[in-house]
Structure 1
Amino acid sequence: MQVLSIAGSDPSSGAGIQGDIKTFTALGVHGLSVITALTSQNTSKFFDVAAVSPQMIRSQLRSILSDFQVDAIKVGMVYSKKAIMAVHSELKRIKIPVILDPIFESTTGGILLQRDSFSYFKKLLLPIAYIITPNVLEAEKLAHMKIRSLGDFKKAAIMIQKMGARCVLIKGGHLQGDKVTDVLLEDKIFYTFSHNRIGFTGHGGGCTFSAALCVNVAKGQRLRDAVKSAQEFTLQSMKKAVKVGRGISIVGQGRIDLIENDLSHAIARFAAIEGVYQHIPECQTNFVYSGTNPKSIVDILGLEGRIVKTGKSVAVVGNLKYGASKHVASAVLEIARKFPI
């Protein structure tokens, strides 16, 4: 499985292309990259930025898209209107889901989208986005309104969706309070995701989330499950943040669970088989997997939900979790007992 990040280079490796590649690797997929700008920054200060030429951006995109089967694309920092036009020209006709992460400013104070490029960002990139993932400040800029309440979240999401993005996720971390609430607008339905606020003042949280969401979408997860899983991965990465420089901390993406990685890939490949919906029974389908000689159901990984038939396709409902399956896991457990390795 391959996913692509189109973004700027961050030499501190906290965010940008380098941060995305770390997340892709941690989640067990092959990360591809197209660089739109070079930044000079560290954990304390933003120094400089230089644009990559639109010709080079188009050349990078063509080289990747002509060679690799890309399962999802994340678009982050684009910096200039020429870069935006170059990205749009290469992506406007593709069928690959695009996760658009609006990057306007860096944590260390740098301007990452030129002022004269904002209208181009809205006009050209939002209409090609499967989902856009602004934080509250970015959503306020896009929707031209203040966001203070759940009603404001929903109103802003609708306004941003009308600009062309199919789905909108507004992240509430910049608001005050013990709880953080994110709001997803998927087509015309709202979903909310809340968690306790953690003490994190660092670099790379937003990029980690959108990169993890890109991976989950590539794996075929239902969007609200993909958001929840990306949120959980990001929270764990924030909790593992490390202070490697003299300034703010950098998120620490954890190692992957190889069993989860293998099962996730298997489910994605199964769901992509042409006509597979014809073989899904009325009780739907689940996959489970474990290491050698599992002792109980909690040693066996499975879907919390099912692989379900939706018309002439299938959808993966729920996240992978140990102990989630009882019926199918019991069969695996019994086989393992009779035929131990």
Structure 2
Amino acid sequence: MAYPRVASLKTHDDFVSHLRDSQIDMPSDAEVESGDASPLAQSFDVHGQTVGNRWSILPMEGWDGTTDGLPTDLTRRRWRNFGLSGAKLIWGGEAVAVRHDGRANPNQLLLTEKNLSAIASLRQELVDEHESHFGRSDDLLVGLQLTHSGRFSRPNIKSLTEPRTVQRNVVLDRRVKITDDSAIFSDDELSTLIDDFIAAAVRAEKAGYRFVDVKHCHGYLGHELLAGRERTGKFGGSFENRTRFLRDIVSGIEAATNDLKIGVRLSLFDFLPYHPGPDRVGEPEPGGEPNKVFGGGEDGLTIDMTETSKLVELMHEIGIRMICTTAGSP
């Protein structure tokens, strides 16, 4: 089967033909509406604030800061372009580590007290650029994504994995060179990390951000905890224990901040790790463990969002109104 890049489908007819050939039921419009009356120009309300349109900038990992976790000219240019884009919801800007050992790259931004004013200036430059082109920013909602990269951490040297994880995983351990249990966070260490997330959220509020995204996607630490069914202790096993990390962060942020809102970027489902097969089409890598997949079926190759739905209900119960959906892991 061929997997064409969407950008290679140059016309609407090409796109519709590809959907039909792939047996995908996805309605689409041949003409994209523009102007104030178009669907994507409509405002919406969240947490009592009006967000001016339906465009959003999702968080990525710029990896172009300094080794101290400060923004560079390249970082600042990107954030100014966020403001220039016209999008009214800036979902996290980019992934910012809450402490050094959780950086996925030695040039990832780091939200320490020392770096606070620089991280604040990124938001201000974005707002200033937006105001200069669109005349207002009262309908602009800007957040900051907080992360610990877990087993994908490379805080010091790009070529050196320094993973910290929550459970052993045959395939993924092999990829990041985990050979024993020394990389696994203890319960006490996870409790300390929760405090680090809360402290980072307090700093984000001081820096002027309206919300933080507590990252739970793409195989990073928060996401991997959701699949920690075989982990022992208070952060593993039952659904209640596997969601304790998120619940404790949320309650801690609410107690420690004034009016900071909380969002979650969530991988709705995942599969067993894949690798390229003989014909370069992906296939499950040998040794995969289906029980360590969140949102997957019993075989680890299908989708079962029973627990995902349960998690979304839990998020609603604890006051989260902003969920950014994605899927899978690197």
Same fold (TM over 0.5): no
- Using the size of structure 2 for normalisation, the TM-score is 0.31
- Using the size of structure 1 for normalisation, the TM-score is 0.30
